[in-house]
Structure 1
Amino acid sequence: MEFLIKISQFLLSLSLLIVLHELGHFIPAKLFKTRVEKFYLFFDVKFSLFKKKIGETVYGIGWLPLGGYVKISGMIDESMDTEQMAKDPEPWEFRSKPAWQRLIIMLGGVTVNFILAALIYMFMAFAYGETDIATSSIKDGYWITNPLLIEMGAQTGDKVVSVNNETVENYSDLRAKLIEAKTIVLERDGVEKTITTPEDFLGQLSTGDDKTFFQLRIPFVVAQVPDSSLNKNVDLKQGDIITGINNTKLKYYDEYAPFLAQLKGQTVQVEALRDTKPISRTLQVDEDGKFEIAAYSNASGKTLEKLGYYNIVTKSYSFGESIGVGANMFTEQISSYWTQLGMIFNPNTGAYKGVGGFKAIFDIFPNTWSWEAFWGITAFLSIMLGVLNLLPIPALDGGHVMFLLYEMISGRKPSDKFMEYAQMVGFFILIALVLFANGNDIFKALFK
């Protein structure tokens, strides 16, 4: 069931983005009286799952879910229809239109992607508001388990003072800031310490088994007592919060392992909370220093706030306010993605090792249905699709835009034969990138 929920969100999001992107090309093409021969969701290699001709355009769904396309007459595109290009230009063909019209047609897809992302952020701000944890309320620092961060000098209990000399006010912003971090100022026992990230920080992070950053320290929340556990007959329920052992208060889950290591094979008295009411239970500690009880890796924001761990900041916005908030979210996301893309194309950062394909995108979606999460991920993917399509690779929109700008500036139009060769080169570059990204997914699945 969890797989069906994830795959449903994945396919719905990609289908929506692909159709709207191609619609961004389709609408200006029709406005400029340019013939559109095909409008397809997914690729129809050899055959289609569905197709219907309406007017001069065939609308369909292909079987290969690697994207979609509109086939515009008189244009060198992924169809490589050189036979049509060998004929004299017709007035309804793309190549017969003025350069400014062709530029608008080619920019239509990414324009729709960016507008869609901005609109989603605006409506999310209006519908859901913002819920976050104020970093100022994180009094006991963060939970550090990543060996890379530990090697750099961070440890559990450290507070983050600044990243790249900027204070991070909300916990949700911390991960994005750390990805781009060159310097991180930490506070430990009232003393500040500056650590410098290695140039290939992202590369090392991508290839490591632990990809966590500065995690919230959470209480020991019982998820399950397995039938194989020494404590299977103890009255502990899902959601119970263990707060101490033998009259010693233990606030955070990360405190239990070192404490239990000293109590191997012993019987201990445990204090806990059930629906905020204190309870006491007798538990066995196994020879490895464990209760053999599964704990949640996170806890709900409401639970953490109720217990006084963190301050949850909730903001509601009017429709007018949500426009500015959404626009700001869009600007921050697109700026961050451009920065990360630049790091990927810089071999020294090693960020290319973290590039993923369809599985990486699939893994972003939660295994429970959440419209808030769905729309947030869809907005981010829309930005990603728009930015990637602007890359100056001939097979992408950005490649066509590059040649159109050259034509408008120089007054010389590249020949159809040159465009054909450029499209072939771009196509092979694109295939190589797709194979590399999805190959990374396969490598991680097999060897991690």
Structure 2
Amino acid sequence: MELLIKLSQFLLSLSLLIVLHELGHFIPAKLFKTRVEKFYLFFDVKFSLLKKKIGDTEYGIGWLPLGGYVKISGMIDESMDTEAMAQPAQPWEFRSKPAWQRLIIMLGGVTVNFILAFIIYIGMAWVYGDLYIDNKDIKDGVWITNPVVEQIGLKTGDKILTVDGEEVKQFHDLNAKLFLAKKVEIERNGTKQIVELPVNFIDKMFQGEKAPIVDLRIPFVVVKTEDGSVNANSVQPKDILINFNGNPVKYADEVLAQVKDLKGKTVPAIVTRDGKEVPIQLKVTDSAKMQIVYAGRINASNIEQLGTYPIQRQEYSFVESFGVGINKGFDQLASYGRQLKAIFNPNTGAYKGVGGFKAIFDIFPEQWSWQTFWNITALLSIMLGVMNLLPIPALDGGHVMFLLYEIISGKKPSDKFLEKAQVVGFVLLIALVLFANGNDIYRAIIGK
């Protein structure tokens, strides 16, 4: 069932983005009286699942879910319809229209992508508001569970003050900021210091364990005991460990730090159970394990109930949501721009993290959440818009590049040149798709 939910969200999100992107080309083409021969969701290689012709346009759904397209008459595109291009230009064709009209048609898709993202962020600000933990309320610092992060100099208990000189207000924004950061200002044991992140930090993260850069320090909450656990009769689900080996403990990491030095021992402990403090004995195996599954993360309502961190709630009026949503959109746009810059810098190793369809599929949750769905869809819409603007022939950005050349120079590239450029761009595009999905396959094989 979880797989079906993930797949449904994945297909719904991509379908929405594809249809609206192509609609961005379709509408200005129609406004400028340019004939659109096909409008397809997914690719109809050899055959289509559904199709219906209305006027001059065939609308349909293809069987290959790798994107979608509109086929505009008189345009050199992925269809490579050289026979049609060899005929005299007709008034309804793309090539007969003024350069400024062709430019608007080509920019229509990415324009819709960006507008959609901003509309979603505005709507989310209005409907959901903000629910977050203020970074300033992380009084005892962050939890570092990733060995790679420890190697570069961050430790559990560090307070993150600034990232690249900028304060980060909301804790859940920290990981995204740190991923692309160059330096971090921290406070450790009352002393401020700077931790420099290596240029290949992203590469190190991809090679290491699947763990966030920083996490919240949370109480040791028992989920269950492992099969055959030495502590099966000592703890119960929802127990919270508050004292271990005679030492008061507030966070799970404090317990784990002590366990590694208690191999083979039985130690006193105290848990809260049903609102009461219950003394127990806990055994540590010779391999420094307690065989207890504890909560790795706690949702916002439970964090608030436990009193670990205050949860900030911010609601916005309809008017206020515009400013909040627009700022969020620009922040995400700038963040994705920085990610692309890192990907094209071989020294960062960020290109190893480029993912394909599986990577996109994996970011959708196993439980249906409209808030999460819209958040992911907005981010994907920005990514789709930016990627399509890359100056690669076969992408919108390639067409835009040649149209700008034509507008500035007054010279139109020949159809033969555009055909060859389209082939080169198509090869580059296929190579990029193979590389991204190849990364997915490689990570699946090595288990990362």
Q: TM-score, normalised by structure 2?
A: 0.96
1:291 aligns with 2:290: yes
Q: Which amino acid aligns with 1:179?
A: F
Higher mean alpha-carbon deviation, 186-195 vs 373-382, is at 186-195
1:248 maps to 247
CA offsets 1:380-403 (integer angstroms, 9 cap, x no match) = 000000000000001100000111
Shift of residue 330, structure 1, vs aligned partner = 0.3
Contact 1:138 1:309 in 2 (8 A): no
CA offsets 1:49-71 (integer angstroms, 9 cap, x no match) = 11111221111111111110011
Moved beyond 6 Å, runs of 4+: none
Shift of residue 20, structure 1, vs aligned partner = 0.6
Contact 1:45 1:63 in 2 (8 A): yes
Distance in 2 between the 1:275 and 1:32 partners? 70
Contact 1:182 1:197 in 2 (8 A): yes
Shift of residue 202, structure 1, vs aligned partner = 1.4
Shift of residue 277, structure 1, vs aligned partner = 4.2
2:206 maps to 206
Contact 1:145 1:210 in 2 (8 A): no
2:6 maps to 6
1:398 maps to 397
1:335 maps to 334
1:20 maps to 20
Give the aligned CA root-mean-square deviation in angstroms.
1.6
Shift of residue 246, structure 1, vs aligned partner = 4.3
The number of aligned residues is 447
Residue correspondence of structure 1 range 208-227 to structure 2 within 5 A = 208-227=208-227
Q: TM-score, normalised by structure 1?
A: 0.96
Distance in 2 between the 1:251 and 1:243 partners? 6
Shift of residue 433, structure 1, vs aligned partner = 0.6
Q: Which amino acid aligns with 2:215?
A: Q
Structure 1 gaps, min length 5 = none
1:356 maps to 355
Contact 1:257 1:289 in 2 (8 A): no
2:442 maps to 443
Residue correspondence of structure 1 range 22-171 to structure 2 within 5 A = 22-171=22-171
1:372 maps to 371
Distance in 2 between the 1:63 and 1:228 partners? 49
Shift of residue 266, structure 1, vs aligned partner = 3.7
Distance in 1 between the 2:22 and 2:334 partners? 24
Distance 1:227 1:148, change over 3 A: closer
Shift of residue 234, structure 1, vs aligned partner = 4.3
Q: Which amino acid aligns with 2:102?
A: R
Q: Which amino acid aligns with 1:85?
A: M
Distance in 1 between the 2:223 and 2:211 partners? 23
Distance in 2 between the 1:334 and 1:275 partners? 47
Shift of residue 302, structure 1, vs aligned partner = 2.3
CA offsets 1:332-382 (integer angstroms, 9 cap, x no match) = 110111111111111122211111111111111111111100000000000
Contact 2:406 2:412 in 1 (8 A): yes
Shift of residue 306, structure 1, vs aligned partner = 2.9
Distance in 1 between the 2:110 and 2:44 partners? 23
1:229 aligns with 2:218: no
Distance in 1 between the 2:325 and 2:23 partners? 23
Distance in 2 between the 1:283 and 1:179 partners? 38
Distance in 2 between the 1:430 and 1:242 partners? 54
Higher mean alpha-carbon deviation, 379-388 vs 282-291, is at 282-291
Higher mean alpha-carbon deviation, 341-350 vs 329-338, is at 341-350
Contact 1:268 1:282 in 2 (8 A): yes
Distance in 2 between the 1:264 and 1:204 partners? 31
Shift of residue 211, structure 1, vs aligned partner = 4.3
Q: Which amino acid aligns with 1:63?
A: W
Contact 1:257 1:290 in 2 (8 A): no
Higher mean alpha-carbon deviation, 202-211 vs 55-64, is at 202-211
Paired residue secondary structure (1:309): coil
1:315 maps to 314
2:190 maps to 190
Shift of residue 182, structure 1, vs aligned partner = 1.0
Structure 2 gaps, min length 5 = none
